[in-house]
Chains A and B, each alone.
Chain A
């Protein structure tokens, strides 16, 4: 327990330093008096006794200091003194302080804000117990036609689960599905997740109320149960305490509520969980995410080895190649954040550049200040301050500034994080709920402030304390600061280079965004309203019922005032889903791997969407189940399958093994449409009339498209009324096609905006920095300028003289920055659309903008200097 008492002693002495010092004085005084008294008693005179006592005692002042040293707080006292002194020094230069703190606040604040997001989205662990042992198992084809998602096909899942030895439990689940909730307020679409029964126990999260799924509860006939999210329970069921055992209707299927999950549990972005049992279906194979909890003594590498062995041994499908299968064991979090990680890392990198520029600026300010304080430092050094002592003094000032900047920066970050939801594309930033300023962010900001202080404070401090003892006193404060000049030059060059890199990155993103916005999607999205339905199979059991619903809706929509054209398609372009597949060509062949979209469309769809009909005719009401089967192909299908031929009247089939009645006649050719996104290639497509499609699965999900003459809002109201009239139990979602386009460009817009913001901050800081440096060096040379003017120098000569150096710095900065940008913008390649990372026009434009701004910043102080009256300049100082 000795250490505890020691700590206590230390703290005790810390808070009682003054009293202890007083007591020590008394004690020593007492000692001396005793000694004197003793000396007198032994026969000395009073004065003699005193001297003798002092001799035997030693130097009291020195001994008191030595004693105080043993209290262990002298270092702290010195630091306190440094800080007090720094406060005084800074408060004497309020302008300098304000500029420095603001600059640092910008740099540190931007970094804290980005770190808050990175911390929340990427770093914070998933909100499950021992989440570091949760991994996704993924066995997917390499480079398939769809955006990569981790997943395992149902067949592989069952086989792997049976032989696996690395995981405690393995669960499969679906994400991104929705269901219509009826009977609890208005009908509404909610995101639901189908999960195998081990899902909750695997995540080690039990429902707050009730229970999770039991083994076997996924089996058909046994599966009419549901677990609700806390939010759904509160919002839709008014926190009903007797919710357990109640029946709710999801997609018109009645289910019993068996549990409510704790607040905050939404994984994987669901509001209700339904049991799933995995069965092998011969015709369709689903691929779903699979999560497993690793056994404690198994590493992810071992699990991967197991999965790879498994993949080696699985029999191959007909179209498969073993090398095309990719086995991966990925942290669970990646399911949500893998797609956003690269862009967040780019932002994090960009924002560090902003901080570096801010540091360079403040370092420059410090250099200028150190130059004017040279004499003060020299005096202190002559009076005995060591270089370390002076250095510490200067570093105390920079640390103080930096902490001020950090404090203001946190406020900025707070504001930035608040405004993030408006800046980020809706739904595109995962784990938004995890983003907040917490202890980690504060710790990050604090350490960043200290690092920053050293970053901008050390070089000027070293420079300032280097020669002060030797030379400066004699110079009377008018030293030529060549060393400073070199550092300032280097700082300015790096500022320009950093700013150029950021601006180039932002320029590329902007260029790419503009390309994306101007891309022709194959349809004309303006003045189009869309309305999507998902008809539940409980009410709409067969194709006839569904087709009747569609026909009636289409007819009523076409009668709405202000509607120019109307139609419907199952998977709307730029929407969320699509089905791709193969087909057979009569008397020809389909190139291996050539897959097409297979939309079901209604008569009038192409007119309503503004998809150009290249040849032939559109569908009409007579293309129904009784008529011969027809299709409309997109241009790329026609060109690929029948190059140089007229596709009209050719026959294809959607069946793998077509019977005579399965052949469909091509009656028209339309333009290709960018189905999966504006930045993606156009998909080849083969359209069928919805009246000729008999599988209910392809008809349930339908989007109605209405082209309006005018006022879209009133038409939207009409559309809602139509749907209510046809089936009041369908949830209504009406949107404009423009909003779908906006969502499709949202990522790009977000990245461009954010990178643009950072680049503009960098540019502003750089310009202020250059202005400051040039202004200072011109001010230093006022006398020289005066002399030159008095001796007859022309303005042009002076301009040349003063601007020459600035020009050299700017050009060097641009060359270095250009080289840096060429290397660094490569990381942007995957975010850029139709723009190369080394796009010359962008580079040139950015370099021009930066040079022009920098030159302007230089010219202003130079012009001011040249207006100076030579007489005034000569009298200067």
Chain B
């Protein structure tokens, strides 16, 4: 049963996969990149990106790596293409 929500989520997933397939990026950069995509495709709040990113990571469709800033405290999660086929 496909709810409208599923459609949005699926679109967001595709956009994320497309974005990280070029090069590893962290959340902020992914958000910026998606915003630059022409058209009114994505009318979601930026924060919705994070549940989606982590869901894709759990599905092993993308990889995540912690990238510290050298001070051991601050840092970002770097997301990269999972290398999988993308099928379940």
Are B74 and A58 in contact, with the CB atoms below 8 A? no
**Interface mask (A1-42 → B, CB under 8 Å = 1, otherwise 0):** 010011001100100000000011011101100110000000
Contact partner of B58 (CB less than 8 A), chosen from A9, A24, A57, is A9
A23 touches B57 (CB 8 A): no
B75 and A26: CB pair below 8 A? yes
Q: How far is the CB of B69 from chain A (nearest CB, A)?
A: 9
A30 touches B60 (CB 8 A): no
| B27 at the binding interface (Cβ < 8 Å) | yes
Q: Does A67 touch B at the CB level, under 8 Å?
A: yes
Q: Does B77 contact A (CB under 8 A)?
A: yes
Q: Does B51 contact A (CB under 8 A)?
A: yes
A34 to B30, CA, bound (A): 13
Closest residue to B59 on the A side, CB-wise? Answer: A6
- A626 / chain B contacts, CB cutoff of 8 Å: none
- Interface set, chain B 20-62, CB cutoff 8 A to A: 26-28, 31, 45-48, 50-51, 53-55, 57-60
Determine whether the beta carbon of A58 is less than 8 Å from that of B54: no
The contact of A71 among B58, B75, B85, by CB within 8 Å, is B58
Cα(A382)–Cα(B58), bound, Å? 36
Chain A residues near B57: list those with CB within 8 A.
9, 70
Task: Let me know if A662 is at the binding interface, CB within 8 A.
Answer: no
Q: Is the CB of B28 within 8 A of A31?
A: yes
Chain A residues with a Cβ closer than 8 Å to the other chain, count = 28
Residue numbers in B under 8 Å from A63 (CB-CB): 47-48, 50-51
Q: Which residues of A contact B26 (CB under 8 A)?
A: 27, 30
Interface contact A56-B46, CB-CB below 8 Å:
yes
Q: Knowing A9-B58, A31-B28 touch, does A59 contact B47 (C-beta < 8 A)?
A: yes
Given contacts A6-B58, A63-B51, contact A27 B46 (CB under 8 A): no
Q: Is the CB of B46 within 8 A of A30?
A: no
Chain A nearest CB from B2 CB (Å) reads 20
Of B50, B58, B74, which contacts A28 at CB under 8 A? Answer: B50
Q: Are A56 and B45 in contact (CB under 8 A)?
A: yes
Q: Which residues of B contact A23 (CB under 8 A)?
A: 66, 75, 77
Residue A66 CB within 8 A of the other chain:
yes
CB distance from A640 to the nearest CB of B (A): 84
- B60:A2 contact, CB within 8 angstroms: yes
* Interchain CB contact (< 8 A) of A5 among B27, B60, B75, B77: B60
From B47, B74, B85, A30 is in contact (CB under 8 Å) with B74
Bound: A34/B51 CA distance, A: 19
| A245 CB–B CB distance under 8 Å | no
Q: How far is the CB of B70 from chain A (nearest CB, A)?
A: 14
Q: Which residue of B lies closest to A69 (CB)?
A: B51
A81 to chain B, nearest CB (A): 22
Q: A9-B57, A23-B66, A26-B76 are in contact. Are A31 and B51 (CB under 8 A)?
A: no
B4 within 8 A of A: no
A238 at the interface (CB under 8 A from B): no
> What is the bound-complex CA distance between A63 and B48, given in angstroms?
7
Tell me the bound Cα distance from A29 to B33 in angstroms: 19
A841 within 8 A of B: no
Residues on A with beta carbons closer than 8 Å to the beta carbon of B53: 67
In the complex, which residues of chain A have a beta carbon less than 8 angstroms from the beta carbon of B51? Answer: 63, 66-67, 69-70
Residues from chain A with a CB closer than 8 A to the CB of B60 are: 2, 5-6, 9
Contact assessment for B54 and A27 in the assembled complex, using a CB-CB cutoff below 8 Å: no
Set of chain A residues within 8 Å of B76, measured between Cβ atoms: 26-27, 30
CA A5 to CA B31, docked complex, whole Å: 26
| A48-87 CB contacts (< 8 Å) to partner B | 56-60, 63-64, 66-67, 69-72
Chain B residues positioned under 8 Å from A10 (CB to CB): 58
Query: A631-652: contact bitstring with B at CB < 8 Å (1 yes, 0 no)?
Result: 0000000000000000000000
Would you list which residues of chain B between 55 and 88 have a CB under 8 Å from chain A? 55, 57-60, 66, 73-77, 82, 84-85, 88
Contacts of B73 in A (CB 8 A): 26
B residues within 8 A CB of A64? 50
A34 touches B46 (CB 8 A): no
Provide 29 A-B residue pairs closer than 8 Å at the C-beta atoms, listed in order of the A residue. Answer: A2-B59, A2-B84, A2-B85, A6-B60, A9-B58, A23-B66, A24-B54, A26-B74, A26-B75, A26-B76, A27-B26, A27-B27, A27-B77, A28-B47, A28-B50, A31-B31, A34-B28, A35-B28, A58-B45, A58-B47, A63-B48, A64-B50, A66-B50, A70-B51, A70-B54, A70-B55, A70-B57, A71-B54, A72-B58
Instruction: Please name 19 further chain A to chain B contacts, defined as beta carbons within 8 Å, in addition to the given A30-B76, A67-B54, sorted by A numbering.
Output: A2-B84, A23-B66, A27-B76, A27-B77, A28-B27, A28-B50, A30-B27, A31-B28, A56-B46, A58-B46, A58-B47, A60-B47, A63-B50, A66-B50, A66-B51, A70-B51, A70-B54, A71-B54, A72-B58
